[in-house]
């Protein structure tokens, strides 16, 4: 389960006087943490989903895939980066920059298992037609921890579509949580050899075999309940003249 702000404060002994940097948090701000500076490409008021008023004291608009952070070395007592790295085509610059400007910090991403598990049949959530996808279709990287080091490797959708890697159920944690001090210990898989990538996927599957269930997803076969649910959602959304149905309606249909 994701840690709440209160849990973060308690677990990592974050003090009210700590100077905190939030990287990429405009889509989901930290309401119970006194953020000094929020760095993102968009302001919270510009977020496409769930606009909100800026809570941090300061905001800096920055493309963290290309630009370095405009701060001194070790300027911040704590650096937060939650559910951002997996979206970036180049997450490595900002990882190095967080190590430079922060004394310690916390990173959260989807777990490897949750981000390769195929979704149920869906028609309405992304408005791209009926499909099943492994994890979130816009994520570019997979993460897991090995001997205290974050392993970062490409999320290859072609590989995940093969029968060997079609995971339909994951019994492990939904989120990777990584606390660091002084610097972030990570390993980038730079060798893009498809053979090496396949072997790394296989090693992960083997280590976690007791927590996964494989299935067949190329042919869209799912529990009839999900077909009925999605068609009812689609019909309701058309009747109401909206692109999507609110969560309240979805819950009632469920």
* 168 and 240 both lie in a single domain: no
Asked whether residue 178 is assigned to any structural domain, the reply reads: no
Domain boundary among 59, 94, 110: 110
- pLDDT given at position 232: 87
Domain membership of residue 12 (yes or no) is yes
> pLDDT of 115-135, one tens digit each?
999 988 777 766 666 678 899
Name residue, tokens 């494989």: 214
193 & 124 share domain: yes
Residues 31 and 57 in one domain: yes
pLDDT of residue 236: 84
Question: Is residue 170 within 8 Å of residue 110, measured between CB atoms?
Answer: no
Q: Of 87, 110, 133, which closes a domain?
A: 110
Among residues 68, 82, 65, the alpha carbon closest in space to that of 23 is found at 82
Using CA atoms, how far apart are residues 174 and 88, in angstroms rounded to an integer?
Answer: 19
Structural domain boundaries enclosing 103: 1-110
- Taking 70 as the pLDDT cut, the residues of the chain under it are 125-130, 190-191, 217-221, 241-254
Residue with tokens 């058309």: 238
- Same domain? For 129 and 207 the reply is yes
**pLDDT value for 174:** 96
Instruction: Answer with the one of 58, 84, 110 that is the final residue of a domain.
Output: 110
The pLDDT of residue 233: 84
- Taking the CA of residue 84 as centre, how many other CA atoms within 13 Å lie in the half-sphere pointing to its CB? 28
Per the CB < 8 A criterion, the answer to whether 109 and 54 are in contact is no
Please check whether residues 21 and 122 belong to one and the same domain: no
Q: Is the domain of 76 the same as that of 142? A: no
The answer on 130 and 77 residing in a single domain is no
Burial of 213 (0-12, 13-18, 19+ CB in 10 A): exposed
179 found inside a domain = no
Query: How many structural domains are present in the chain?
Result: 3
> Which H, E and C letters describe the chain, residue by residue?
CCCCHHHHHHHCCCCCCCCEEEECCCCCCCCCCCEEEEEECCCHHHCCCCCCCCCCCEEEECCCCCCCCCCCCCCECEEEEECCHHHCCCCHHHHHHHHHHECEEEEEEECCCCCCEECCCECCCCCCCCECCECCCCCCEEEEEECCEEEEEECCHHHHCCHHHCEEEECCCCEEEEEEECCCCEEECCCCCHHHHHHHHHHHHHHCHHHEEECCCCCCCCCHHHHHHHHHHHHHHHHCCCCCCCHHHHHHHC
Please indicate, yes or no, whether residues 129 and 211 belong to a single structural domain of this protein: yes
35 and 82 housed in the same domain: yes
Q: How far apart are CA 187 and CA 90, in angstroms?
A: 14
Domain match, 67 and 100 both: yes
Same domain, 43 and 133: no
Asked whether residue 188 is domain-assigned, the answer is yes
């Amino acid at each position: 389960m994701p840690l709440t702000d209160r849990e973060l404060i308690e677990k990592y002994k974050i003090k009210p006087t700590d100077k905190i940097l939030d990287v990429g948090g405009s889509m989901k701000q930290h309401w119970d943490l006194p953020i000094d500076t929020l760095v993102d490409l968009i302001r919270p008021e510009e977020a496409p989903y769930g606009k909100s008023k800026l809570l941090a004291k300061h905001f800096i608009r920055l493309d963290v895939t290309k630009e370095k952070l405009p701060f001194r070395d070790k300027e911040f007592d704590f650096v937060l980066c939650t559910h951002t790295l997996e979206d970036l085509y180049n997450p490595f610059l900002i990882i190095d920059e967080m190590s430079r400007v922060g004394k310690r910090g916390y990173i959260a991403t989807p777990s490897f298992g949750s981000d390769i598990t195929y979704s149920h049949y869906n028609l309405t959530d992304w408005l791209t037609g009926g499909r099943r996808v492994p994890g979130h279709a816009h994520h570019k990287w997979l993460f897991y921890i090995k001997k205290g080091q974050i392993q970062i490797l490409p999320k290859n959708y072609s590989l995940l579509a093969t029968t060997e890697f079609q995971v339909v159920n994951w019994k492990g944690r939904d989120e990777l949580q990584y606390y660091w001090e002084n610097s972030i210990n990570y390993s980038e898989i730079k060798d893009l050899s498809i053979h090496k990538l396949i072997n790394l996927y296989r090693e992960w599957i083997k280590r976690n075999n007791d927590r996964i269930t494989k299935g067949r997803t190329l042919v869209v076969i799912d529990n009839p309940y999900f077909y009925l649910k999605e068609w009812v959602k689609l019909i309701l959304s058309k009747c109401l003249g909206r692109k999507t149905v609110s969560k309240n309606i979805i819950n009632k249909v469920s």
